[in-house]
A and B are shown apart, each in its own frame.
Chain A
Amino acid sequence: MAQTISADRVGGVIWIVFGAAVIYGSWMMDRLESLGIPPATAPGVVPGLLGIGIIIFGLVLAVRRSPADRPAATAGSVGLPEVEPAPHTDEFHWKRVLVSWMLCMTYGGVLLGSGLHYWVLTASFLFLHVLLLDETERVPARPTSRRLLLAAMLAPAAATTVMLTFERIFLVRLP
């Protein structure tokens, strides 16, 4: 609970700063007076109002004593006892996310369009992702010969299917 409140406080401050930046940006926008448009319809009006809304919500988030304590669209929200958790853990594994995020960003954000052939790049990404991120093993997963074989078979097959589908059927010029 204490962690949630402190995270909300930090979040609230971030929203306030963001809202203030939006209001500043809206205020600095051209009001197009030279075109003779009514001031109430200037381009900055709506973003400015949204900025004010964000600041108000951010302020409440930052100063409130306790977070809203109510279930979302779940059993509890309609007055029923909560459902027993499904037989899996939903514990957050930040190492897995970090490895996955870095692989995804390197593939889509850095290497795609840099001159590397699409098929080679996609197959390499799939190979590494499948090899490094297992669901039940250590993180990153210890590559076993079985996983190596799985990744080596799956990556080229999936890359070829995606490439041919988009290039030949949807006529996309691949990056």
Chain B
Amino acid sequence: MFDGLVMFGNAVLGYLNPLSLTLAFGATLLGVVAGCMPGLSATLVITLLTTLTLKMQPNQAILVLVCAYNGAIYGGSRTAILLNIPGTAANAAACIDGYQLARQGQAGRAMGIATTGSVVGTMFGLLCLALFTPLLGEVALSFGAFEFFWLALLGVVLSGNVVAADPLKGWLAGFLGLLVAGVGQDGMYAYERFSFGNVDLAGGFGLIPVLVGAFGFSEVLIVMSERFARPKIMEFGSPLPRIMDVLRYWRTILRSGVIGVWIGILPGVGEDMAAWSSYATAKRLSKEPEKYGKGSIEGLMAAETGDNASVPGGIIPALALAIPGSAPCAVLLAAMIIHGVPAGPMLMVDNPQFVYDVVAMVLFSTLGILFFGLFFIRPLLRIAQIPRSIMMPIIFVLCVIGSYSLSSRLFDVYTMLGFGTLIFIMRRYGYPAAPFVLGLVLGDILDKNLRRGLVLSDGELLPFFTRPLSALLALLVLYTFITNVKTINDALVRGRNALIGRIFPGFGKSS
């Protein structure tokens, strides 16, 4: 406990120098600006920044990425409130009541609420990050190859199930990601898989070029496929938050923080689901549900607290288990791997200080959000008005040179172009990119641990189902699959509702 506090104190002191502070606040501002611009997702920002931070010290590079990530998730609330356009998918829930408040002439108040919710949500998540990462890391030390195999598979399956409108397409995208991760020399015997005698393919597809293609180039094409009228910004008053708004809804804030962190921890689920779940729960338990959708302070607070709390929440499994909680976290994990940070159960043994370094990074980004959110509104909105037809080709140029700069070979640029085109086509037909990316990052873990497990069990499959934790994870994977069979799901929902009705009579009637 006290060791943790000492390490956290050391981490904060370590970043109190001009360079680190400039990087932290600069990256937070960049994230907020990018989040303000519809079409620039948090994942795209982190992916591009990963290519720009390769030559930095690992701690400084991760500092930039964490601050930009947190800033981007917050930044999207600006346009959600003022323009009814969520800057990132995570801010879609903030549109409902934020925009209504803006229409009622309370845009400044709404932005103050969003800033307060985001800051409090992140601080709550930060506390959970500091408390639960070491605990989860300790539990994970007892995990073997069997458990890690199931955990990796669960991440891909759960992500495919949640983020896609059609789970089948989510799983297909996830399995494709797992397969792409396996191209090139395998991790056990250095055998070249699917290289077809090509020297470049023998080394496998670079993680970053594929990610830049999946979230950069495909995003450029998606944005170019839409027309987008230049938004007009309405007038707004003071964005300074009112203390009464915070005190009155403390229960909602706390509950949304818990939901945000919990959904963040779930592998591959993401911030948007955290915002929607927090919002829906707040409405269900609210004393004034009739105000929701008409400019509810409580609703906006719940949505913004939930999505920002899920940012540190998603980092918890990425650090403790090397299983990312969301697509941006998958990129963050990839960056950690590239920088040689040993994310996973051994992190708390080999480098426990790093966990508290990340906690300090989140703290600095939160302070940045508070400052930029309250005092930099007008310049931020001017940037949001830059036409996307001007931004997108510049982003593409950065995608190209970012992919090339990794190892100065054109193969990485071709990889980026190929996967960008493929993911764009897949997204057009309803296949989400997030499970693909999760599969890509988890592919190596799944491959190595399945085969290690088979070595340990002399080729027997039974231990994958008989070890207690393995069996539990296997059941969760199976549950995720079967709940998508309509008849089984209907029966489960009926059973659940009957049970809830018996335990909490009246629950859910207000919604």
Contacts and interface: CB of A to CB of B under 8 A. Distances in A.
Interface string A142-170: 00000000100010001100100010001
Interface string B260-298: 000000000110110011011001000000000100000
Interface in A92-110: 92-94, 96-97, 100-101, 103-105, 107-109
Contact of B280 (A79, A133, A175): A79
A72 B194 contact: no
A92 to B, nearest CB: 5
A112 B400 contact: yes
A54 B172 contact: yes
Contacts of B172: 15, 54, 57-58, 61
Contacts of B188: 41, 43
Consensus secondary structure, chain A interface? helix
Contact of B84 (A79, A86, A89): A86
B164 interface: yes
Contacts of A61: 168-169, 172
B93 A75 contact: yes
Contacts of B417: 104-105, 108-109
Given A101-B221, A135-B228, A162-B398, A7 B408 contact: no
Contacts, number: 232
A126 B220 CA distance: 14
Contacts of B83: 86-87
A125 interface: yes
Interface in B143-197: 162-169, 171-172, 175-176, 178-179, 182, 186, 188-189, 191, 193-194
Consensus secondary structure, chain B interface? helix
Given A47-B193, A135-B389, A73 B89 contact: yes
A30 B191 contact: yes
Interface size, B (range) = 35 or more
Which of A50, A97, A107, A122 gathers the greatest number of chain B CB atoms within 10 Å? A50
Contacts of B95: 83, 86
A119 B390 CA distance: 18
B475 interface: no
Nearest to A150: B390
Nearest to A169: B55
B229 A136 contact: yes
Nearest to B84: A86
A53 B175 contact: yes
B410 A113 contact: yes
B131 to A, nearest CB: 27
Nearest to B164: A72
Nearest to A163: B401
A43 B191 contact: yes
B405 A170 contact: yes
Contacts of A54: 172, 175-176, 179
B393 A78 contact: no
A104 B217 contact: yes
A126 B397 contact: yes
Interface in A103-137: 103-105, 107-109, 112-113, 122, 125-126, 129-130, 133-136
Interface in A24-41: 25, 29-30, 32, 35, 37-41
A104 B168 CA distance: 31
A80 B283 contact: yes
B92 interface: yes
B432 interface: yes
Contacts of A38: 454-455, 458-459
B348 interface: no
B227 interface: yes
Contacts of B416: 108
26 contacts: A25-B194, A29-B191, A30-B191, A37-B189, A40-B459, A46-B447, A47-B179, A49-B450, A58-B172, A67-B166, A68-B166, A73-B162, A75-B280, A83-B95, A87-B231, A88-B227, A97-B225, A100-B392, A104-B220, A129-B392, A129-B393, A135-B227, A135-B229, A162-B397, A166-B401, A172-B408
Rank and list the top 10 A-B pairs by shortest CB-CB distance, nearest first: A78-B280, A129-B393, A40-B459, A43-B191, A40-B454, A100-B224, A72-B165, A68-B166, A41-B451, A172-B405
Interface of B: 52, 54-55, 83-86, 89, 92-93, 95-96, 162-169, 171-172, 175-176, 178-179, 182, 186, 188-189, 191, 193-194, 217, 220-221, 224-231, 269-270, 272-273, 276-277, 279-280, 283, 293, 387-390, 392-394, 396-398, 400-401, 404-405, 408, 410, 413-414, 416-417, 421, 428-430, 432, 446-447, 450-451, 454-455, 458-459, 484, 511
Given A38-B454, A50-B175, A73-B163, 4 more contacts: A4-B430, A92-B428, A112-B404, A134-B387
